[in-house]
Amino acid sequence: MAVAETDEAEFAALKSEIAEWVAGPGERWAEKIEETGEVPAELFDELKGNGWLSLAAPVELGGRGIPFSRYLELLEIISKSHGSIRMLVHVINGTWRAMAPYASRELIEEVVKPSVAGDKLVAFTLTEPDNGTGADIQTTVRSEGDEYVMNGVKHLITFGVKADYLLIAARLEGTKGNDGTVAFAMPNRLPGAVVIDDSDTMGVRGTDHAILEFHDTRVPAKYRLGEEGQGLEVALGGFLLPSRVSVAMSAVGLAERAQELAIAYANERETFGKKLAERQAIQFYLAENYAHIAAAKALIIQAARAYENDAPDASALSSAAKMVAVEMLAQVTDNALQVHGGRGYWKKHPIERVYRDARAQRFEEGTNEIQKLVVARAALTGLASTEGSLTW
């Protein structure tokens, strides 16, 4: 698929535009989301109108064709805003990657292009309550003529309540392992499907989450992505691999926001005749934060380049980047909250929201325990060599 060349002057202007919005209107929207627990339709329309929901998709799908590693620079800035704003931009700029290579022309027109345009919302639908997110998925389908009959349960499905379509993985009845998996880009709320709102979360308030139940739900075969047996290929390689790198960069953006808040407070707050910023203990917190952020960002950029170049260690690097970045975010936000002292625990201070939002990224696109398994497997099979990965 064609990718538009990056005009550096235009790109710099776009970064400035996003940064100004995040610091101004974005903060006001964040306050409104926290007050209401909802993402207003007007905010979605604003993000769509700004063109920020179609940054990464190729031009023939209606996107701006910004290369993945450069798109991450924009996501880094957006991630300084509210978690639900970041989630919208991140997911909508990513689901097309899984669908487009496997979609029929009909699905490209019905689902993929409208998703890129922000006219239709697609929810990534993989996780199940009693299984993991890989070859052990148990939601089943059986083929009956020109339809599949689906049964099972999915949960923790971001945008599952409001989504128009589900990017979903299931397995053929009676199969085990990767070979029996099937992916669909199917309409939400087909007959026999039950959508349960499960949106009351600790952080990332305003983003809806759903439990989805399927009871002999008939899915027209035209909504299948790729062939039978390619379900996990669509879900894991098409979406999860680049999404893990994106989540890692969003952790950098949120950590940078926490650091900014800590520095501002340290320069403002005075105790016993001295600014907090003059105290060595506080300086150490800020120095640690700077180093941790810089180190994580370097690994993320390397992972992004490996993905762009289809390098053999791209999967290992994506998991390593996510693993390192979310641990970094936990440390940075904890340090930043400590700089604020007791005041930071109150909701009137932005660091309180940042601290809550940060916790979600510990399990988004797979926990660190899962990432470690991916990296270890690659290391043991020779697919994770730092010597081959590093760019000097």
Q: Active-site positions?
A: 365
* Nearest Cα to Cα of residue 305 among 389, 379, 375, 392: 389
Q: How many residues does the chain have?
A: 392
Strand-pair category, 209-220 with 224-225: unpaired
Q: Read off the tokens for 80.
A: 């300084």
69 neighbors 304 (Cβ within 8 angstroms): yes
14 to 22, 51, 75, 82, 288: CA distances (angstroms)? 12, 10, 12, 19, 30
Instruction: Give the span between the Cα atoms of 276 and 283, in whole angstroms.
Output: 8
Instruction: Give the span between the Cα atoms of 377 and 320, in whole angstroms.
Output: 12
Q: Read off the tokens for 337.
A: 């909250």
